[in-house]
């Protein structure tokens, strides 16, 4: 989602759609994991105001920039799980040249669902997108 604000400019945010009143929605598998701890839960009213052009409360709550989240991933996320990939190179790490096929080889990636979700979030961070979870009372 693109947010436009006269003071903060344009920036992108991605958030899960809540499921059964769980604000983590499809990200629920990551809640409490190392990667999940890099995703901030922002107040619902701050997100709602940002969608209407007043992003200061959201930016105060949003936390680390996406590039910093990549830096904080740690060594467990620095290897690609796809060992037999024909395109595997030294660039198969989270960063500006992360290949689209990258799936982190982490202890939480035992399930394909988690590995794919982690890969998606890494790609969003590489693109400079803030990944957030929106708390209750959004509207």
pLDDT tens string 51-81: 999 999 999 999 999 999 988 887 777 667 6
Which sequence spans correspond to the domains of the chain?
A: 2-134
Q: Tens of pLDDT along 94-133?
A: 777 676 777 776 654 456 567 778 888 988 998 999 999 9
- Dihedral of CA 4/136/61/95: which sign? negative
Q: Tens of pLDDT along 33-42?
A: 889 999 999 9
CB 93 within 8 A of CB 78: yes
Q: How far apart are CA 87 and CA 48, in angstroms?
A: 42
Taken as a whole, the chain contains a residue count of: 139
pTM for this one? 0.83
CA 48 to chain centre: 19
Residue in the structure block whose two tokens are 């989270």: 94
Q: Tens of pLDDT along 7-31?
A: 999 999 999 999 998 999 999 989 9
Q: How far apart are CA 61 and CA 91, in angstroms?
A: 32
Tally of CB atoms within 10 A around 9: 9
CB half-sphere exposure, 21, CA atoms < 13 A: 1
Tally of CB atoms within 10 A around 80: 21
Tally of CB atoms within 10 A around 103: 21
Tokens of 137: 């009372």
Q: How far apart are CA 50 and CA 31, in angstroms?
A: 24
């Amino acid at each position: 989602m693109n947010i436009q604000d006269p003071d903060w400019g344009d920036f992108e945010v991605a958030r899960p759609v809540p499921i059964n009143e769980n604000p983590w929605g499809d990200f629920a598998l990551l809640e409490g994991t190392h990667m999940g701890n890099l995703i901030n839960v922002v107040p619902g009213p701050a997100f709602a105001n940002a969608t209407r052009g007043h992003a200061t409360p959201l930016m105060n709550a949003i936390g680390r920039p996406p590039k910093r989240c990549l830096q904080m991933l740690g060594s467990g996320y620095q290897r690609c799980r796809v060992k037999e990939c024909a395109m595997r190179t030294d660039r198969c790490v989270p960063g500006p040249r992360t290949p689209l096929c990258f799936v982190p080889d982490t202890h939480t990636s035992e399930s394909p669902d988690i590995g794919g979700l982690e890969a998606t979030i890494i790609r969003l961070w590489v693109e400079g997108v803030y990944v957030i979870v929106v708390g209750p009372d959004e509207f």
